[in-house]
Amino acid sequence: MNGLFADQLGDPMLRSMYEYWRRKCAGRAMPSRRDIDPSEIPKLLPHMTITEVIGNGARFRYRLSGTAVTEAFGRSLTGQYVDEVMKGQYRDLILRLYRNVCLARRCVFCESKYTGSKNPGVTTKRLLMPLSEDGTTVSQVLAIQTFLYASHDRSILVVDNMDEFTGADVELTEPRSEA
């Protein structure tokens, strides 16, 4: 395991998913979708998404959206396109993250604060990991996302109102090469 990158994740759930993804690489640059076995990671499933890469990154469609992600967004993302679900600068950020995973063929970590939502103060950490059927081209992106709500109320976060997203507290970190 790449300790430097894993240490930057901070969140135990993200670290656990990253370690699982690394094991599934099995000496390859990235695992395939068929390497991911939900029965091996039941506690992580609610926080997962799997997104299909269409047209070499021209578009992205959610193939799976876990229950924690559905709760945070107020609806299931499964079957929907990222560019249709997200709006404004928030959409641009998410598309940039996915495209970075596809181009670099590496994991991307992002921590951001939802500043334009009805319930400000929600912070999310997400880890996006490439999957490939041919070992070279990223065909899907496996992601895990956790949410920290500012209040105990855990009200639904409506992402459609993200036009005012300012990008505050956004940090992109790429993994360092293992020594």
pLDDT at 87: 84
| Domain assignments of the chain as residue spans, ordered by start | 3-173
CB atoms within 10 A of CB 171: 9
How large is the average pLDDT for residues 81-94? 89
How large is the average pLDDT for residues 87-100? 90
pLDDT at 23: 95
Q: What is the CATH number of domain 3-173?
A: 3.30.450.20
Q: C-alpha angle 6/140/103, rounded to 5°? A: 70
Q: Are 77 and 60 in contact (CB under 8 A)?
A: no
Chain centroid to CA 169: how far? 16
Global confidence as pTM:
0.80
Instruction: Output DSSP code: residue 159.
Output: G
